[in-house]
A and B are shown apart, each in its own frame.
Chain A
Amino acid sequence: DGGITQSPKYLFRKEGQNVTLSCEQNLNHDAMYWYRQDPGQGLRLIYYSQIVNDFQKGDIAEGYSVSREKKESFPLTVTSAQKNPTAFYLCASSLLGEGPHGYTFGSGTRLTVV
């Protein structure tokens, strides 16, 4: 079955460490997105990518980095520069082009700083 897979489901990070969250899709979607979710804050856009080897900053990109070396993969690195990384991270993908293409979401990664 086609879908979008995020791993790991739970991740713990020590202060000063970088961690990478994985996001893989087999839907042949062109665009991929990373959102951060905090209680009462809704979803806030971190980065998105419409094409391989290209990506754009969202509203809260500081302290995060991404790569898009393959169409199927869009990993997110939470760097030590991100001062408050504890949150639920959601990856999504979508088709591009004419029409209201909604997102397909992964099941999320919960990151906790210990």
Chain B
Amino acid sequence: AQSVTQPDIHITVSEGASLELRCNYSYGATPYLFWYVQSPGQGLQLLLKYFSGDTLVQGIKGFEAEFKRSQSSFNLRKPSVHWSDAAEYFCAVGGDQAGTALIFGKGTTLSVSS
């Protein structure tokens, strides 16, 4: 079955500390992988995406993610967290078939402490 698992429901990180949000996927075909961020009461914004090539991808707002095929993972990282990064983060997977709808994880809520 195709699925996305985000093992951490809620994470608290001190401002300035590093961050890693975990994402594991199960997908039968070549996966497209995405990370989105959502502020309360808002839509989702794309942070970064991966299909092929370099397994370390850079995104907006200083985020990066690393694709590890052997572990079926696509973890999101940031070297130094800012208070404005507090939000909900969603990992998603899709395929290369035209129009395939993305499958989203249940999300990880990030809180930033001062």
Residues on A close to B: CB < 8 A? Answer: 6, 30-31, 33, 35, 40-43, 45, 48, 50, 58, 88, 90, 92, 96-100, 102-108, 110
Contacts and interface: CB of A to CB of B under 8 A. Distances in A.
Interface of B: 9, 32-34, 36, 41-46, 49-51, 90, 94, 96, 98-99, 101-102, 104-107
Contact of B46 (A88, A103, A108): A103
A42 B107 contact: yes
B56 to A, nearest CB: 16
Nearest to B94: A100
A44 B99 CA distance: 16
A42 B44 contact: no
Contacts of B94: 100
A42 B101 contact: no
B49 A108 contact: no
10 contacts: A31-B99, A48-B99, A48-B101, A88-B41, A99-B51, A100-B49, A105-B43, A106-B43, A107-B42, A110-B41
A42 B87 CA distance: 14
B8 to A, nearest CB: 13
A96 B106 contact: no
B98 A50 contact: yes
A36 B36 CA distance: 16
A92 B36 CA distance: 13
A100 B50 contact: yes
Nearest to B106: A42
Contacts of B96: 98
A96 B94 CA distance: 12
Nearest to B43: A105
Nearest to B96: A98
Given A33-B101, A96-B98, A103-B44, 9 more contacts: A40-B106, A41-B106, A48-B99, A90-B43, A100-B94, A103-B46, A103-B102, A105-B36, A105-B43
A108 B41 contact: yes
Contacts of A43: 44, 90, 104
